[in-house]
Amino acid sequence: RGQYATFKATFPFEETDDQAMAINAVLSDMCQAKAMDRLVCGDVGFGKTEVAMRAAFVATDNSKQVAVLVPTTLLAQQHFENFRDRFANLPIRVEVLSRFKSAK
């Protein structure tokens, strides 16, 4: 819980009630034995990425891997940069896969 609170504190904005509700619902689902079946939707700038980041943090904190799927290569690059920056001080490797990335 302490590490999650520290990660949560790095969110540079004040959470809206709807964001907090969505985050809590997703995290609650993640604690269940049954697989989660949830879709987070909202307009641009409504905090969907933050919901994904919090879920990714909890998953990686429990030794799981995370994949975030997005519809465009531009959005993939934006999410990569946001996740990379947000997870920079944590022992978590963040990468991006897209049609523009060659095999290494």
pLDDT in tens, 11-59: 989 999 999 999 999 999 999 888 877 788 888 877 899 999 999 999 9
Establish if 104 belongs to a structural domain: no
**Domain encompassing residue 27:** 2-64
pTM of the model: 0.86
Indicate the range of 8-12, 44-48, 87-91 predicted with least confidence.
Answer: 44-48
Residues 71, 74, 79: CA angle, nearest 5 degrees? 80
Give the number of domains in the chain: 1
- How would residue 67 be classed by pLDDT, with cut points 50, 70 and 90? very high
Position 80 in a domain? no
pLDDT for res 26? 92
Give the C-alpha separation, 92 to 73, whole Å.
Answer: 22
The pLDDT value recorded for residue 35 is: 80
For residue 71, being part of any structural domain is answered with no
Residue 79 lies in a domain: no
